[in-house]
Amino acid sequence: MSLQEYKELVGADVIDELHLLADRVRHLHLQNINSTPVGGGVAEILTRMIPLLRDLGVRASWDVIKGDQPFFNVTKAFHNALHGAHEVITEEMFEIFRATTEMNLREFQFTGDVVLVHDPQPAGLIARKKDIGRRWVWRCHIDISVPEPKVWEFLRPYVEQYDASLFSMPDFAQRLRIPQFMVCPSIDPLSDKNRELPKEQIEAVLYKYLIDPERPILTQISRFDRLKDPLGVIAAYRMVKKRRDCQLILAGGGAPDDPEGAEVLREVQEAASSDPDIHVLLLPPFSDLEINALVRASTVVLQKSIREGFGLTVSESLWKRKPVIGGAVGGIKVQIINGVTGFLVHSPEGAAQRILQLLDDKDLCERLGETGHQHVKENFLLTRHVKDYLLVMLAAEHPNEDVVTLS
């Protein structure tokens, strides 16, 4: 993958600007740290981001913390609680978090001049700052606008030791004693997940999963996670199915840092078991071409989340000019402008009504798809995200100067 390949899509000016910025930070090493190498949006972005930064001559790396099952049970509960969901949080859970953080602190190599730590799981690594210095930035990918106070008050003292924090939306900003910047996530238009595909390849994937190409297809691509509301999607499909023939695809895989996936998958399989038109697909990691094909084959895409940090799947679908119906939560609200780039809904009933409207109006689908594509092109492509990270590096090196404004 080379930056030159993006020129045609985003214009030469954008690429030139990236080179100019890269020149100013080439002496710095950006080390990313998160909790999983695959599965979920953070891994998706880093997989695409690191090669592009390197292509710009910037030293960028990515390391993953270690954790056992109890640790990831705890951090998944923290994740849900920070999203505002009810979770029982005990002192023992805080102890498990502290102990795994200590273990990682003993084993981890901190190689970056700028250490970019993603999400709560590795947030405790900041303890090393007092020994080794460097610039530390906490990158929050989740919606912490209304966090469960107990977990947030546990996490906040870690966060406030960082030099700065990055959030995906202004709504997520918190009262913090450190600077906060807004950086939206992004998709890579040239990746296997998003690039154009020949018709035959799309049809082959439908054939493989026994999906009928002749009848409307509703799709949600997501980890099997309650906050993605797969059962709500099935409920909406059932309401639609009474009035229009259609099929539903619920496709997703797991992530090593998400221990709830298997249980949610079982619930979904059970809810779907009596209907051969509901296709529950458990996809292995690196199913990017298949996911691309499934979305391209869809009539309507759903992302009916109950809470959402950003929801990369929304931009991935808008980019493919698909009409998208999303839960009116978190980062979905910056991607779907209601009635312009898709529809926002608050319930399975609302989703069903919008699905019916879209199934009956091909022109509307095309209009939403086109504006959705333009919206992603202007706001949520990887090249913009690379620029923001270069600016973060620059700002990290010059913390007391107003040298940059993040886009």
Q: Does 252 bind ligand UDP (CB under 6 A)?
A: yes
Q: In this chain, which residue has its C-beta nearest to ligand UDP? A: 41
DSSP labels, 56-122: TT-EEEEEE----HHHHHHHHHHHHHHTT------HHHHHHHHHHHHHHHHH-----SEEEEESSTT
Q: Nearest distance from residue 311's CB to ligand UDP, in Å?
A: 5
Report the side by side order of strands in the sheet with 29-34: 59-64, 29-34, 114-118, 135-139, 164-167, 180-182
Residue whose CB is less far from ligand UDP, 67 or 254: 254
**Sole binder of ligand UDP in the list 230, 253, 326, 342 (CB under 6 A):** 253
Q: How many CA atoms lie within 13 A of 114 on its CB side?
A: 28
Q: Nearest distance from residue 252's CB to ligand UDP, in Å?
A: 4
Q: Does 324 bind ligand UDP (CB under 6 A)?
A: no
The torsion angles phi and psi of 322, rounded to 5 degrees, stand at -95, 145
Q: How many CA atoms lie within 13 A of 139 on its CB side?
A: 24
Q: Nearest distance from residue 139's CB to ligand UDP, in Å?
A: 13
Q: Does 313 bind ligand UDP (CB under 6 A)?
A: yes
**Sole binder of ligand UDP in the list 78, 310, 380, 389 (CB under 6 A):** 310
**Sole binder of ligand UDP in the list 230, 311, 330, 342 (CB under 6 A):** 311
For ligand UDP (CB under 6 A), the number of binding residues is 17
**Sole binder of ligand UDP in the list 41, 67, 230, 342 (CB under 6 A):** 41
The torsion angles phi and psi of 188, rounded to 5 degrees, stand at -100, 110
Q: Does 316 bind ligand UDP (CB under 6 A)?
A: yes
Return the closest-CA partner of residue 167 out of 149, 147, 151. 147
Q: Nearest distance from residue 57's CB to ligand UDP, in Å?
A: 27
- Per DSSP, the three-state class of 166 is strand
Q: Nearest distance from residue 231's CB to ligand UDP, in Å?
A: 17
For residues 191-210, which are near ligand UDP according to CB under 6 A? 193
Would you put residue 11 in left (φ > 0), alpha (ψ -120 to 50) or beta?
A: left
Residue whose CB is less far from ligand UDP, 311 or 323: 311
User: ∠ CA(217), CA(220), CA(222), 5° rounding?
Assistant: 155
Q: Nearest distance from residue 150's CB to ligand UDP, in Å?
A: 22
Longest Cα pair distance anywhere in the chain, in angstroms? 65
Q: Nearest distance from residue 65's CB to ligand UDP, in Å?
A: 17
Separation of alpha carbons 42 and 406, rounded Å: 20
Q: Does 223 bind ligand UDP (CB under 6 A)?
A: yes
Q: Determine the residue type at 46.
A: L
Please name the residue ranges forming H helices in 160-214.
199-208
**Sole binder of ligand UDP in the list 40, 120, 326, 342 (CB under 6 A):** 40
Stretch that binds ligand UDP, among 172-180, 209-217, 310-318, 354-362 (CB under 6 A): 310-318
Q: Determine the residue type at 124.
A: G
Q: Does 36 bind ligand UDP (CB under 6 A)?
A: no
Return the closest-CA partner of residue 338 out of 348, 330, 326. 326
Residue whose CB is less far from ligand UDP, 21 or 280: 280
- Per DSSP, the three-state class of 275 is coil
Q: Does 326 bind ligand UDP (CB under 6 A)?
A: no
Report in angstroms the alpha-carbon separations of 198 from 202, 204, 251: 7, 10, 21
Stretch that binds ligand UDP, among 16-24, 216-224, 239-247, 382-390 (CB under 6 A): 216-224
Residue whose CB is less far from ligand UDP, 252 or 369: 252
Q: Does 110 bind ligand UDP (CB under 6 A)?
A: no
**For ligand UDP, what does the binding mask look like between residues 281 and 300, x meaning CB under 6 A?**
--x---x---x---------
Binding residues for ligand UDP, per CB under 6 A? Answer: 40-41, 44, 193, 221-223, 252-253, 283, 287, 291, 310-313, 316
